[in-house]
Structure 1
Amino acid sequence: MTDLHYLTGFGNQHSCEAVPGALPIGRNSPQRAPHGLYAELLSGSAFTAPRADNQRTWMYRRRPSVVVGGYAPLAHAHWKSGAAEGDCASPDPLRWGPTPLQGDGDFVDGLRSYAVNGEVGIQGMAALAYVAHRSMGRRALVNADAEMLLVPQQGRLLVTTELGRLEVAPGSIALLPRGLAFKVDPLDVPARGYVCENHGAALRLPELGPIGSNGLANPRDFEAPVAWFETEEGAYEIVKRYGGKLWRATQAHSPFNVVAWHGNLAPYRYDTARFMTINTVSFDHPDPSIFTVLTSPSDTPGWANVDFVIFPPRWMVAEDTFRPPWYHRNVMSEFMGLVLGQYDAKPEGFKPGGASLHNSHVPHGPDTEAFDKASGAELTPHKLDQTLAFMFETRWPLKPTSWALKGAPLETTYASCWQGLKDEFKA
């Protein structure tokens, strides 16, 4: 795809037009918008939210979103949201093998919820897998309950949104605001990856605190699409996620008909290779919070509704230190996935395309192999390379779904990876 163009800067006030003169000057909603277009506002926050937190985008489109038929329920066996749709939160560590690639559906058909918490549209999150074998064609998805963070693991995606198009490859992510129409078409088949459905406050860049003004994810590296509209005529099926359920309606035109737009509520893509990793240059393994790319804060400072954390290639130089993650019981719940390579705490058992879940205060850490190797390793500087793992970390326990416990490739012997850790105490 060579005809895609982008605007840079997370949360910036962007403006663009696919046709010269389509963007009104000096006012948002003139009596007659240029070129016979309709003005439409998409809000990502309350009108009276503080200026720094206020999110909204004005769109100038060929037809407004109100031109759509009535909605009817749409069945989907495996897309679950909210704590009420999960099984009991497990005190056991859980791990899954790679999501099977079988099937012939599109992105929506191929969504599978691993684990859920919170309340739909208010707080919490859901961790999902997707497998896509074909284009969504004349079908679009609107998630009115949550923003969606896409983490491709295998295969490039073309993400078409009302505000333009994004090409997203493994190693990059896509952030899609709540309420925005989009469709996901695999450029390589089959495509597989992960999704975080965020029901709480919108994801944003974390504060840097003592790190200072530079580090972690730089705002300018987030890319928003420029205005683009579909010219092909014909009906579209609109699939809407609303109230934790799926609905469908039909309209006679494309929802991707925005000729110009301006605002700070936009979809973004981000290449994780641009993440400025912070790490120790003396001793001890630092907290994984230094790898936070985006955060959705809660009403309790420091206890995120959900954090998106990555473990990218990085140099390991700590002296007199056990370099992999330590054994711990975290107050936060951790859902992990592996995009490529090996994860240093589970060098063989954790596979790309797989996932793990360690709920609040569930003990976990390096398996026996990783512990033995790291305990005796020569502590010369070395680089963890050709690897990318990530974590959705949330303050509430995650409840596995029935698919995760009965349909997904759940590893029933996962906990045995620690049974080789012996009592080596010497008085």
Structure 2
Amino acid sequence: MIDYRKLGYISEKQHTFCEFEGKMVAEHVITRNGFNDNYSILYQKRAPTHEVNAEIYKSENPFFPSYNKLSNNELKRRHFKTPNYSKEGNLLEARATLLVNNTCSVGILNQTKNDHFFFANADADELYFVTEGNGILQTVMGEIDYASGDYLFIPKAIPYRFLPSAKSNMFIVEGKNNFGIPKEFRLAQGQFKLDAPYNHRDFHAPSRLMELKCNENYPIIIKKDNVLTKHEYTDFPYKVVGWDGWYWPFSFSIHSYQPKTSSVHLPPTVHTAFSGDNFYIMNFVPRVLDYHPKAIPCPWPHSNIDCDEAIFYISGDFTSRKGISNYSISFHPSGIPHGPHPERYEQSIGAKRTEELAIMVDTFEPLFVTEAAAMLEDKKYHYTWDSHEHL
């Protein structure tokens, strides 16, 4: 996680008797990698173990949490017109997994309704990017107000739900291990380096605890091995009065990201924002372009032989692409060369600045296309590098 945070009431010393409003509270330790990694301690009015029912939850959504990979995963460049995805509703009704491998997945969500449950992903940490919309991310560790342009990071197994004030379209990355701030951006003590593309002040933990009414009792639906289990209680199990530690959900605005520039074009790794085991996430944000007198700001055609690339286009005229609309996803697998459309390469000469906004996910394990993504595919995209092709 980012650093140490605290919210609400906690004991003077951990693992000792703690009383709140005249009653003893339960200490709930949430920790990773056994007991050898980041942890937080929640102080709750009772231990969260008083279940009265646990059963498989049958989702009617064929695209999440289950998915079907394409039986014929052709080696070609692809474009998914994700704005055409029309399914709306709550988190479990309107989410779709589009690209997947053993370490991460890429998906989308059109959240239009409040969740009437809390959801916990016991398979992976989750990073949502809000392309449009606003509302409240309500977690058992407190509430975060979100708006367009925000990343929302939810650590593995932390229950949460969305309360949108307006339709919230989101891009989602799941990461199974070591998902968060890249080690290369940290000092040995954990503080961000001075040349990191952000600082501690840019990351916002929950600002207030949840205030549930006494009679409010929501089930918690947990995803484990892509199977949903619904857990029900006699009363809501996470009546948290305070917590502290290094393990907490956060928001981060993409507009707070500090881009790096050069005299000539640099590889996209200079735009890294987050990482996990075998994948990186990069931010392409408005910035000054390469300033050598003969610079070609557009990326060079390249064969990144050991890496798959998926780009989510948010806004602006992307320097290297034509025919891509906002909120679409391009997917360029390893094994074949890719790069800018030919005319874009030449047209970029002399450009001083770009206003593009996009997110790229590079993976070091092959990504597989799901049937949900195939339904949104632009079949002509692979052939648009022919300079005679007109879109």
TM (norm. structure 1) is 0.82
1:400 pairs, out of 347, 361, 369, with 369
Query: Which among 363, 384, 391 is matched to residue 417 of structure 1?
Result: 384
Which residue does 1:178 correspond to in 2? 156
Runs of 4+, deviation exceeding 4 Å: 84-89
> Could you tell me which residue of structure 1 aligns to residue 11 of structure 2?
24
* Distance of 2:369 and 2:297 partners within structure 1: 31
Letter in 1 for 2:288: W
SS in 2 for 1:99: helix
When residues 361 and 206 of structure 1 are mapped into structure 2, their CA distance, relative to the original with a 3 A threshold, is: farther
> Letter of the aligned partner of 2:134 in structure 1?
R
Shift of 1:255: 4.8
Q: Is residue 218 of structure 2 the alignment partner of residue 236 of structure 1?
A: yes
Change (3 A) 1:87 1:99: farther
Tell me, in whole angstroms, the C-alpha distance in 2 between the residues paired with 1:151 and 1:134.
18
How do 1:37-186 and structure 2 match up within 5 A?
37-47=25-35, 49=36, 54-68=37-51, 69-75=53-59, 76-80=61-65, 87=71, 89-100=73-84, 102-118=86-102, 124-136=103-115, 138-186=116-164
2:7–2:209 Cα contact (<8 Å) kept: no
State the partner residue of 2:204: 223
* Distance in 1 separating the partners of 2:281 and 2:39: 23
Shift of 1:30: 2.1
Letter in 2 for 1:98: T
Kept in 2: contact 1:227–1:261 (CA 8 A): no
Contact 1:78-1:403 within 8 A present in 2 as well:
yes
Corresponding residue SS for 1:389: strand
In structure 2, the partner of 1:383 is 353
Give 1:112 shift: 0.4
- Three-state SS of the structure 2 residue aligned to 1:155 is strand
Query: What is residue 6 of structure 1 aligned with on the other side?
Result: none
Aligned residues of 1:360 and 1:396 also touching (Cα < 8 A): no
User: Gapped runs of 5+ residues in structure 1?
Assistant: 1-9, 119-123, 299-304, 423-427
Question: Shift in Å at residue 168 of structure 1?
Answer: 2.0
C-alpha displacement of 1:414? 0.3
Offset, 1:229: 2.5
Identity %: 19
Q: Which moved more, 1:71-80 or 1:335-344?
A: 71-80
Q: What is the one-letter code of the residue matched to 1:11? A: I
Q: Which residue of structure 1 aligns with residue 179 of structure 2? A: 202
Deviation at 1:411, TM superposition (A): 0.2
| Shift, 1:235, TM fit | 2.6
Q: CA RMSD in A?
A: 2.3
1:389 deviates by 0.2
Distance of 1:115 and 1:174 partners within structure 2: 20
**Which residue identity is paired with 2:289?**
M
Relative to structure 1, is the Cα distance of residues 201 and 129 closer, same or farther in structure 2, using a 3 angstrom cutoff? same
The residue type paired with residue 61 of structure 1 is Q
The verdict on how the C-alpha distance between 1:246 and 1:85 changes in structure 2, with shifts beyond 3 A counting, is farther
Show the 5 A alignment for 1:256-271: 256-271=238-253
Does the 8 Å contact 2:48/2:238 carry over to 1?
no
Native 8 Å contact 2:299 2:345 kept in 1? no
**Residue 295 in 1 paired to residue 269 in 2?**
no
Contact 1:367 1:418 in 2 (8 A): yes
Query: CA shift at 1:33, angstroms?
Result: 3.9
Indicate how the Cα distance of structure 1 residues 212 and 240 shifts in structure 2: closer, same or farther if over 3 A, else same: closer
Distance (whole Å) between structure 2 residues aligned to residue 88 and residue 81 of structure 1: 18
Question: Cα distance, 1:206 vs. partner?
Answer: 4.1
d(CA) in 2 for partners of 1:188 and 1:104? 12
Q: Offset at 1:309?
A: 0.7
Q: Quick one: distance in 2 between partners of 1:311 and 1:87? A: 33
Residue 310 of structure 1 corresponds to: 283
Q: State the distance in 2 between where 1:389 and 1:255 align.
A: 39
* Counterpart-to-counterpart distance in 2, 1:41 and 1:55: 11
Deviation of the 1:202 alpha carbon: 2.8
User: In the superposition, relative to structure 1, how do residues 88 and 216 fare at CA in structure 2: closer, same or farther (>3 Å)?
Assistant: farther
Rounded to whole Å, the distance in 2 between the matches of 1:156 and 1:95 is 27
The whole-number CA distance in structure 2 between the counterparts of 1:275 and 1:87 is 39
Q: What SS is found at the alignment partner of 2:83?
A: coil
Amino acid paired to 2:113: R
Q: Distance in 2 between matches of 1:170 and 1:32?
A: 40
List per-residue Cα deviations over 1:368-415 (Å, max 9, x = no partner). Answer: 3313422xx4x26x2212x3100111110000111111x3x2100002
Deviations 1:21-54 (A, max 9, x none): x31002x23234433322111112321x3xxxx2
Letter of the 2:314 partner, please give it: V
Aligned-residue offset at 1:80: 4.7
Partners of 2:81 and 2:88 in 1: how far apart? 20
Deviations 1:108-159 (A, max 9, x none): 21110111101xxxxx1010011111111x3110000000000111212421
Instruction: Quote the residue 1:425 is aligned against.
Output: none
Alpha-carbon distance between aligned partners in 1 of 2:318 and 2:383, rounded to the nearest angstrom:
18
Q: Offset at 1:242?
A: 0.6
**How far, CA to CA, are the matches of 2:287 and 2:165 in structure 1?**
29
Structure 2 CA distance, aligned partners of 1:33 and 1:332? 53
